[in-house]
């Protein structure tokens, strides 16, 4: 979204379903991890090829195949063929930079969301495309690189507590989306902390770098907002029951994720408003300071320039300058100068410059 | 909302219904207060545990259980179990920072609103999450800390005047929401007073602190607006009759609360517009003042710098400077100076600087 | 609306229908004026109490009871009781500061609008709440103080020309609203005249007071807009036939009032846009002027400061300064000075400062 | 709209249908022009009174009565009576300043649009109200003054080519509206040319008059937009088939006018955006220039003020100033001065001022 | 759109279907290229006249006639007659500058979109109107000049791989629109690169030309946005199945184009926001720099002006100036000067100017 996928143009005009990986190569090898469970049994292993996925489904077992790395087109295509994915879906999976959306393909539901993390060093929101395919008894998840926000979910599966082991694949889909959205608040806390730091810096002792940092963090907040914004509509679809793959019982949980999405967006908007207001304030403070500086300059210059002129007059070397030899000439000049200075000070007072 | 719940991230990825209190611990002990009444009888007491709440409902008695303090997860869970609340509802109750919303859970209606108060010292809007569960003959209300805006409602119950004692639990829910929304106007009066004070200060004798105070009060107004804004949609749902727990007779009263909510929002918007317009005005005034200061400096400098230069010329000590020994040299220099000054003054007049 | 009702907080938490007059006491005594007419007969009188209103309605006579002054709760309550008004309606009548709205209460239609006038001295829009109750054969109108925009309507009733005497109470309601909205254009003409005056002043010879006056008039325009804006929706309800108290024939007339309301709003918006654009222009002009001032200062200072330095050099009193006794020293210094000055002037020309 | 009808207030409170001409008297005499045609015959003449219009309609002949000048209330009323127009329609016809709208009055369709022209001298958009009544077999058109954009339409009627002579009155209504909207692009070309001229001027050699001209042209563009904006909704009504007076075949043509209306609006919006962006750019350029000017001043002043001070020191006339009689005093002072100047220049370089 | 079609006014008031080419003449000769294929056969040739197009359709063969150049009205009219196009469609084809839209004409579907390219030298988005007529078994495409983004599509037809050769004319229409929208991302990459270059320049070493270049690129981005924006609605129509000429299977592909359109728009919006934020940042940096410059000037001037005045005093030539002959006069003056300077430096420190 905000950060344009740079190789997007490579795909222009190609046939739909021509798989070209758009995005940086973020993993060295595609990794397939399989978790398969029902209320009683649980199996978790890394597999070498999609052929190892059991194809028979008993209606109770939930199979979750997670794919890390999208650059190996052949491996991804094998997964797609195995689960009968539409060429356009395959295209979207490898073509990172999709907007969040939910697409109903009868045999399965295709979901794309942005999985975000925060680079604390660079103060940047790092974005990864997460594709989730929710079919009858199985979940496929595709990530650009290893590492995700699903560890607590895997832990809940392993421990078998809560509703997860007793529910279907749609509930697992909820659990994944919930983990993604919950993590947005982690990002927001980082952004918020950064904004507060910069606010303090700007109102305290700002440098040009502070301004650039504010510009940069605003860009991050806008990027966050743009990547989460389409999720709002998608969540409405999910909770309203548009899709048969999501049972009525699970819909209520999507309502909860929907609420959290809206809160995340509103928090981002409020951070952006805060920054805008802060920048306006800073401009006013700058103007104010400039005013103060100008006043000092003006007062000093206005006070001494005329006096210096008078002194200059009597520093002239004309032979015929009667004042120079007057007895009270020098004190008289001092008197004139003090009068002028006093007059100016009164004028400044009147204009509230002092 | 505006103020990000700082511990939100603790919950990321947890199972729904895992109760983790998100928010500051604002009370030392959970307190349960029970009021139960019908047209004839009234009972009001503090109870030690939710087991003391009578579970049989005769269809006429209204039971109001108010809970102050959300940090004691066990106590809250006991209340939830006793009244059969859904895990997601329990989660929202203890996870403060929810957007206002109304959720129909068949057996009861779950309402969340922001109960606001104003810290006059710090000029801050203080926000507390109020959860209201409206069931068949009972009301549960959950607050973050002791102290609320319901004292007039309790007084009306005690005195037995008006419709309250003769009506059902839905009317009590209305009375509570009405008290919350009525109190918004108290907040707005404080904010308005503060805005007027700052307006006076800014147009009179502003300091950099005035600017920061305006920035701060704008933040408060935006926070107010963001916390009340979702209430607008919620009130439309309540007054339109979407929920069976609210009788037709009571809906008209929710229409009234809805009107007041919109008025509160519009007042907040107008305060914000006022501040924005004020800041623009202040920037113009600053520019204007700078202009005035610059003009004075320019006039004085432009007038005297050439004159001082002339004086400097005849302060040089060259041996061969014929003018110095001219008889009318000194008066001639004065004449030249006066001519130059007069010329400049005419030029300034022409440019409307004087 | 814009101007917060200052005593609003007094009502917080009270039972609905508890009548507390919110607003300034704007009349010394409540006055009840009764006009009752049909095609043939006309009666107009001031009455002492609501008991003098004839309660029997023959289906043809239209009874218009106008109440001036809302502070006497007892008198208002008597009227409400006599006509069977709902407690919430009573509350809204005395609680000035309502948004314009239309409420259907089966037995009658309750309308609230803002009746505006313009204080030419203070350049302020003065607002008064007008409540109209349209029942079967009668109209009640409640005003905060004496004086209104209905004199032409009363005149039409008295003269018996036009459709008014031949039509029902709904047509009288239309005539009253039409008079209110027609008067908005009188306000807009005043505001427009004021804006044009200020525009002239700002572009001609502005003072800081001009800026403050523009700020003030913008506030008035925003206040006007906010008070008229909700009328737009209300008029759509009235013209669309949502209410049984308005006959189909009369609806077309409400369409006309609706058109005028929209025009009034758009005129206000265009005045506001004008002011905004004007302020932006003024800021540019200020910057421009500052630039011009700075240039003059810079040219003069840059020209003379180096020359004055040279003169200063040869004003030093060192014993060993060979130049001083050179024969052509003085003319040579002049030559150097003229060269420097000419060089600077060329530089200024090149930079387009001259 | 933008330009408030100044005499609007004269009508406040009057009975609907009381005809008061609101607007400037723009024609000296009302002129009635009649064109009546079918596929075979064509009659075109100026008539003295509306009585000369043939009242019998054969279902094939189209009668177009054009009225120029609205100040003669009696003549307009005669036309209205003859064609059975509703009092509110009559009122709107003479009360110029209506928003564009389409009103279905069963027997006829009443359309109001703004007919615009461009005053090339004053760079102003000149607006005239055009009312069109489309009845069964006839068209009435009312203009404020003589001169319109319909000459090409009349020519097409006279020549009998194209669909016009073979179609009904609804097609003539389309042809008139199409001519009006087509002419908007003529206006836009003038506005565009003016904007481009001013852009060139502003970025080249701007004067305060350039700024005022930009302010003025922005006002014109906003006025254009406001007057065309409501046409958008009206065109949607016309093309969607809401009105029985417009045949299905003709609706497609209104779709075309609708497209052009939207394009005209978007062009106006883009002109406005261009101007705004241009003004922002100009402010930046001004700030930039000011910066450049200030730097020159600061460099010169900062360089010479300390040097002049040093020269001033040794221009003092103290009897006991040992330096003055040193042999190398004068060269030493020069050395000090050159060192100071060089140091400052290095400092300026380091700060990138040079 | 953004760039007003300059000859638009030539058409004002003409009969619909009067073909007047609006736009620059961008090709010297109209060229007709014919591609016709089914799963098995493929024919591709340039034809001299539209009469060479085979008129019989077997329901399987897809015929694509591409027309380059719109200035030869006669040739375009021949095509229109041959395929039975409506006069309004003909008018829109030659009248370049249409908004993107889809019009259902029963026998065919008429689509207009903007085909964009990027002029790398001038940093401008170049726009061409592409009209596509999708009929039963045929596609007509009209371009303003030779050269387009369809080469990959032609290649796919020639190679016979993918779905194109096996699908109908609606799929070819999809392939063309997809190629157009895919190319938008090429434009966006160019715009993005330009924005990043300018950002670097502005924050590094900006010149007034940088500002003008930013103004120019903003205009291009707005132009891009305006030309793509209406495509969004059009795509919704196409994917929702409003048109019978698009089969259900193809609709899913239009959903994909729709997604990409939205992404292109959002990317353009984010580029625009980036530029705006950058300009704001630059203004702040300018203000900051001005402040720094002013401080230096003020410090130097404020420090030396009083000292120079003191030196001026003792440079006066009064006969009676007792200080001049004091033994410690000169050192005393130095002491005074150093005290004054030190006092000022302390004052500056206190005000944080140093
Ligand atoms: Mg493609
Ligand atoms: Mg990952
Ligand atoms: Mg969650
Ligand atoms: Mg968006
Ligand atoms: Mg602002
Ligand atoms: Mg969770
Ligand atoms: Mg929740
Ligand atoms: Mg509390
Ligand atoms: Mg209330
Ligand atoms: Mg919001
Ligand atoms: Mg009320
Ligand atoms: Mg501003
Ligand atoms: Mg109340
Ligand atoms: Mg009154
Ligand atoms: Mg009216
Ligand atoms: Mg509003
Ligand atoms: Mg009217
Ligand atoms: Mg502004
Ligand atoms: Mg009227
Ligand atoms: Mg005319
Ligand atoms: Mg046209
Ligand atoms: Mg508008
Ligand atoms: Mg067209
Ligand atoms: Mg701006
Ligand atoms: Mg035309
Ligand atoms: Mg081409
Ligand atoms: Mg594509
Ligand atoms: Mg648009
Ligand atoms: Mg795609
Ligand atoms: Mg801005
Ligand atoms: Mg600004």
A233 Cα–ligand 4 center, Å: 11
Question: Hey, are the CB atoms on B9 and A189 less than 8 Å from each other?
Answer: yes
A270 Cα–ligand 24 center, Å: 21
* Three-state secondary-structure class, residue C151: helix
D16 interaction partners in chain C (CB closer than 8 Å): 162-163, 178, 253, 256
> In this structure, are residues A244 and A24 in contact, taking their beta carbons and an 8 Å threshold?
no
Q: Nearest ligand, CA of residue C229?
A: 16
As beta bridge partners, residue D64 has D35, D139
Residue B207 DSSP class: -
A144-152 average pLDDT score: 91
Which residues, chain by chain, have CB under 5 Å from ion ligand 17? C 256; D 92
A173-206: per-residue pLDDT in tens? 999 999 999 999 999 999 999 999 999 998 888 8
As separate numbers, helices (DSSP H) first and strands (DSSP E) second, chain C gives 8, 7
* Residue of chain B nearest C299, judged by CA positions: B302
Q: Can you give the pLDDT at residue C25? A: 66
Question: Could you tell me where the beta strands, DSSP code E, fall in E191-303?
Answer: none
E305 to chain D, minimum CA–CA distance in Å?
8
Of C279, C315, C325, the CB nearest to B280: C279
The list of chain B residues with pLDDT below 70 reads 1-10, 25-27
D321 interaction partners in chain E (CB closer than 8 Å): 330
* Residue of chain E nearest A328, judged by CA positions: E320
The list of chain C residues with pLDDT below 50 reads 1-2
E220-224 average pLDDT score: 94
Count chain D–chain E contacts defined by CB atoms under 8 A: 168
D57-73 average pLDDT score: 89
C145 to chain B, minimum CA–CA distance in Å?
23
Of A150, A186, A284, the CB nearest to B279: A284
A207-265: per-residue pLDDT in tens? 888 889 999 999 999 999 999 999 999 999 999 888 999 999 899 899 999 999 999 99
Of D4, D215, D279, the CB nearest to C267: D4
Of C156, C185, C301, the CB nearest to D301: C301
Q: Nearest ligand, CA of residue C181?
A: 15
Between residues E116 and A291, the one the model is more confident about: E116
ipTM reported for the complex, 2 dp: 0.81
> In this structure, are residues C16 and B178 in contact, taking their beta carbons and an 8 Å threshold?
yes
Of C267, C281, C353, the CB nearest to D215: C281
C97 to chain B, minimum CA–CA distance in Å?
9
* Three-state secondary-structure class, residue E135: strand
Cβ neighbours around A51 below 10 Å, total = 9
* Residue of chain B nearest A288, judged by CA positions: B286
Question: Hey, are the CB atoms on C314 and B309 less than 8 Å from each other?
Answer: no
E184 Cα–ligand 27 center, Å: 10
C-alpha E301/C-alpha E303 separation (Å) is 5
E159-184 average pLDDT score: 92
Question: Hey, are the CB atoms on C263 and D98 less than 8 Å from each other?
Answer: yes
Of D2, D12, D15, the CB nearest to C270: D2
B263 interaction partners in chain C (CB closer than 8 Å): 1, 97-99
Q: Can you give the pLDDT at residue A67? A: 95
Question: Hey, are the CB atoms on B312 and C316 less than 8 Å from each other?
Answer: no
C-alpha B177/C-alpha B150 separation (Å) is 9
E296 to chain A, minimum CA–CA distance in Å?
10
D316 interaction partners in chain E (CB closer than 8 Å): 311, 314-315, 330, 333
Residue D15 DSSP class: P
pLDDT more than 70, % of chain A: 96
A92 Cα–ligand 29 center, Å: 5
Which CB contacts under 8 angstroms, 24+ apart, belong to D282-286? D282/C284, D282/D202, D282/D203, D282/D206, D283/C283, D283/C284, D283/C287, D283/E283, D284/E211, D284/E279, D284/E282, D284/E283, D284/E286, D285/D203, D285/E208, D285/E211, D286/C284, D286/C287, D286/C288, D286/C291
**For chain B, the helix, strand and coil percentages under 3-state DSSP, each to the nearest 5:** 55, 15, 30
User: Which residue in A10, A11, A16 has the most chain E C-beta atoms within 10 A of its own C-beta, making it the best mutation to test that interface?
Assistant: A16
C354 interaction partners in chain B (CB closer than 8 Å): none
Q: Taking the domain A298-350, which CATH number applies? A: 1.20.58.340
The yes-or-no verdict on residue D1 having pLDDT over 50 is no
A107 Cα–ligand 6 center, Å: 28
Query: What residue spans define the domains of chain E?
Result: 2-284, 298-350
Q: Can you give the pLDDT at residue B207? A: 83
Q: Can you give the pLDDT at residue A196? A: 92
pLDDT band of D26, cuts 50, 70, 90:
low
E88 to chain D, minimum CA–CA distance in Å?
7
Q: Can you give the pLDDT at residue D2? A: 41
A18 to chain B, minimum CA–CA distance in Å?
36
Assign domain B2-284 one CATH number from 3.40.50.300, 1.10.10.10, 3.30.460.20, 3.90.1150.10. Answer: 3.30.460.20
Question: Hey, are the CB atoms on A12 and E295 less than 8 Å from each other?
Answer: no
Count chain A–chain E contacts defined by CB atoms under 8 A: 173
C132-160: per-residue pLDDT in tens? 999 999 999 999 988 899 999 999 999 88
Instruction: Output the CA torsion sign for D272, D273, D277, D283.
Output: positive
C-alpha E150/C-alpha E181 separation (Å) is 11
**C-alpha separations of A223 from A119, C259, E194 in Å:** 14, 43, 19
The yes-or-no verdict on residue E2 having pLDDT over 50 is no
A11 Cα–ligand 27 center, Å: 8
Between residues C183 and E16, the one the model is more confident about: C183
A60-66 average pLDDT score: 94
Of A206, A212, A330, the CB nearest to E320: A330
The yes-or-no verdict on residue A33 having pLDDT over 90 is yes
Q: Can you give the pLDDT at residue A2? A: 41
Q: Kindly tell me the burial class for residue D55, based on how many C-beta atoms sit within 10 Å of its own C-beta (0-12, 13-18, 19 or more).
A: exposed
Q: Can you give the pLDDT at residue A6? A: 56
A294 interaction partners in chain E (CB closer than 8 Å): 294, 298
B188 interaction partners in chain C (CB closer than 8 Å): 4, 8
Q: Can you give the pLDDT at residue E193? A: 93
C86 interaction partners in chain B (CB closer than 8 Å): 252
Q: Can you give the pLDDT at residue B62? A: 95
A88 interaction partners in chain E (CB closer than 8 Å): 252-253, 256
Between residues E290 and E223, the one the model is more confident about: E223
Question: Could you tell me where the beta strands, DSSP code E, fall in chain C?
Answer: 31-37, 42-47, 62-68, 101-104, 108-119, 124-135, 138-143
Of C14, C98, C330, the CB nearest to B320: C330
Question: Hey, are the CB atoms on D301 and E297 less than 8 Å from each other?
Answer: yes
User: Which residue in E1, E3, E4 has the most chain D C-beta atoms within 10 A of its own C-beta, making it the best mutation to test that interface?
Assistant: E4
C263 Cα–ligand 22 center, Å: 9
A256 interaction partners in chain B (CB closer than 8 Å): 16, 88, 91-92
* Three-state secondary-structure class, residue B94: helix
Instruction: Output the CA torsion sign for C54, C60, C66, C72.
Output: positive
* Residue of chain E nearest A101, judged by CA positions: E259
Domains B2-284 and B298-350 share a fold: no
pLDDT band of A8, cuts 50, 70, 90:
low
Minimum mean pLDDT among C6-15, D338-347, E28-37: which range? C6-15
Q: What is the pTM of this model?
A: 0.84
């Amino acid at each position: 979204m905000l950060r344009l996928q740079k190789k997007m143009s490579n795909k222009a005009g190609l046939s739909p379903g021509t798989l070209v990986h758009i995005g940086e190569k973020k993993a060295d090898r595609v990794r397939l991890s399989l978790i398969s469970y029902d209320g009683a049994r649980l199996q978790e292993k890394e597999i070498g090829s999609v052929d190892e996925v059991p194809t028979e489904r008993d209606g109770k077992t939930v199979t979750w195949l997670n794919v890390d790395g999208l650059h190996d087109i052949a491996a991804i295509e094998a997964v797609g063929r195995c689960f009968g994915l539409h060429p356009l879906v395959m295209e979207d999976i490898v073509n990172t930079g999709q907007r969040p959306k939910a697409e109903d393909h009868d045999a399965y539901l295709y979901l794309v969301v942005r999985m975000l993390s925060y680079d604390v060093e660079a103060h940047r929101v790092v974005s990864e495309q997460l594709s989730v395919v929710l079919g009858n008894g199985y979940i496929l998840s595709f990530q650009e690189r290893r590492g995700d926000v699903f560890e607590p979910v895997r832990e809940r599966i392993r421990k078998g507590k809560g509703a997860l082991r007793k529910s279907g694949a749609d509930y697992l889909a909820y659990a994944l989306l919930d983990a993604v959205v919950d993590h947005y608040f982690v990002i927001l806390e980082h952004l918020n902390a950064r904004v507060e730091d910069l606010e303090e810096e700007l109102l305290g002792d700002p440098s040009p770098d502070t301004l650039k940092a504010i510009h940069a963090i605003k860009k991050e907040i806008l990027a966050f907002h743009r990547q989460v914004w389409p999720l709002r509509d998608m969540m409405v679809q999910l909770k309203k029951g548009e899709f048969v793959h999501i049972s009525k019982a699970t819909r209520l949980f999507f309502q909860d994720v929907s609420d959290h999405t809206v809160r995340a967006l509103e928090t981002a908007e409020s951070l952006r408003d805060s920054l805008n207001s802060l920048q306006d304030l800073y401009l006013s403070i700058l103007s104010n300071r400039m005013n103060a500086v100008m006043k000092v300059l003006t007062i000093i210059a206005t006070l001494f320039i005329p006096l210096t002129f008078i002194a200059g007059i009597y520093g002239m070397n004309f032979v015929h300058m009667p004042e120079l030899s007057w007895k009270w000439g020098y004190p008289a000049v001092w008197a004139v100068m003090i009068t002028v200075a006093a007059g100016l000070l009164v004028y400044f007072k009147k204009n509230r410059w002092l």
